[in-house]
Structure 1
Amino acid sequence: MVAYLLLAAAIVAEVTGTVALKLSDGFTKAVPSVVVAAGYGLAFFLMARVLKMGMPVGVVYAIWSAVGVALVALIGAMFLNEQLNLTMIAGLVLIIGGVTLLELGGAH
């Protein structure tokens, strides 16, 4: 359970870094640029801790990347005026479905 909480924190840190990357305007704005570095650094640190706890790297990375992609797409649509259409939503559903299958397959 602790591993999943750390993985969730890693995802939040990565998503924060990615949104800050958009807001950094090509690293020309100091505060968002620092948030990018801190967010990615924390994300990888936490993900390394999760891997040290014994979770399979394929499952960890699949969950981390899929949830991160979905959250960034939703945040982009809700707060950054980015497009999100039905085709893109279907793609996100497929990604999340694939990760779910990886997780279920890893449990056996």
Structure 2
Amino acid sequence: MTLLLLVAAIASEVTATVSLKLSEGFTKLVPSIMVVVGYGAAFICLGQALKRGMPVGVAYGIWSAVGVAAIAVIGVLFLNERLSPVQVGGIALVIAGVAALEFGGMR
């Protein structure tokens, strides 16, 4: 259940972040509402995952790494953004760092 809540938190945060871009500085109503609802849902779901025993470092690490990677891919595919090789490498390092955090705690 904690992993499902974390997935919901990530999906909500990614939706809110894309909506933030689409809101054009909160000048468009529907994307602006999606920002508030999405970030609210993300924090509620993350809080519930933590309440159910997921370690905060692991939860936040996974949430941020998957969120960064997802937003970068969505930006390239749908928002006409570009990623340099250095940026791609940086995203890979973030993901590697989270993997190290996750697997480093296994005994």
Report the equivalent of 1:23: 22
Match of 1:53 in 2: 52
CA deviation map 1:21-80 (0-9, x unaligned): 000000010000000001000000000000001111111111101110110011001100
CA RMSD of aligned residues (A): 0.8
Residue 39 of structure 2: aligned partner: 40
Task: Give the secondary structure class of the aligned counterpart of 2:50.
Answer: helix
Rounded to whole Å, the distance in 2 between the matches of 1:35 and 1:19 is 9
CA distance in 2: counterparts of 1:11 and 1:107, whole angstroms: 23
Give the 4+ runs in structure 1 shifted more than 3 A: none
State TM-score, norm by structure 2. Answer: 0.96
Q: Give distance in 2, aligned partners of 1:95 and 1:7.
A: 18
Name structure 2 gaps, 5 residues minimum: none
Report the AA paired with residue 81 of structure 2: E
Report the CA distance between 1:106 and its aligned residue: 2.4
Give 1:88-103 correspondences, 5 Å limit: 88-103=87-102
TM-score after normalising by structure 1: 0.95
| Residue correspondence of structure 1 range 70-81 to structure 2 within 5 A | 70-81=69-80
Same amino acid, percent of matched pairs = 58
Note the residue ranges of structure 1 that are not aligned, 5 or more in a row: none
